[in-house]
Amino acid sequence: GPEQPPLGVTLTESLVARRNLPQPVETQSPESRSTALRALCTVRLDRENICAIGRLQSLQEVHSLYLQQNRIEKIENLSCLPHLRFLSLSGNRIRKVENLRPLQHLHFLDLSQNQIETLDPDELPRSLRLLDLTGNECTHQDGYRELVLGALPRLLQLDAQPVPGCPEPAPLEEEEEGSSSSSEDEEDESLCGPSGPFTAGKDFFMDLHRELAGRSRRRQREALDEHETRLELLEELRERRRLLLPPAPL
């Protein structure tokens, strides 16, 4: 008869170890495996036929979690990842946005191509900078964009569209020397910092601090936050563009 689809698996720490630790799981003692898991910052488990997210107690340092193209039906058990900043759940079977409020550092959430019919924006963490819900029925709700933007004061991009009135994220290509300070508008220029390509090294922020030393503390803080947000956004977008693509055919 026709082949049965394989049974879905539950996301567990041993599954994380199998795909994200360099050594084969069988050769590791439980202690060394646990130590290695605790040190992980990025976990990639796309296309693993995962249907449920189990409890992941050892992964407290993880800041990026890739779970796209699985069979996950429910967002759950993520509150034990307090540092999570980047979460991709695109291409799953999720019907409801829930259990994300505890993720107070989450900046990037990709829930595109799921089965979310209605959205309760109060379920989204207010820390979000980028949110993608394209391919879900909820995007056709009356007043959908206004609802989401009203709930997420820091959002810079919704469904791949920039939020009006927010600074554009830096382009994905390195900026040419000098181009970032060509703005006529002094208000904009004060946020551009040193000209030349964005680099997130300590020197960059030292220079920025020196450059802004004459301004009030509040202006300094705002400009620094703006730069850090843009840098993070740039980094996340680059990473996303690289990692959300399906593997290249052999």
Domains of the chain by range and CATH? 10-27+36-166 (3.80.10.10), 179-242 (no CATH)
Q: Which region holds residue 18: left if phi is over 0, alpha if psi is between -120 and 50, else beta?
A: alpha
Backbone phi, then psi, for 161, in 5-degree steps? -110, 130
pLDDT, averaged in runs of 10, over the chain (250 residues): 65 90 79 90 94 90 95 95 95 97 96 96 96 97 94 94 70 41 38 38 55 55 66 70 61
d(CA 96, CA 222): 35
What pTM value is reported for the model? Answer: 0.68
Residue 132: burial class (beta carbons within 10 Å; 0-12, 13-18, 19+): buried
- Measure the CA–CA gap between 147 and 144, rounded to whole angstroms: 5
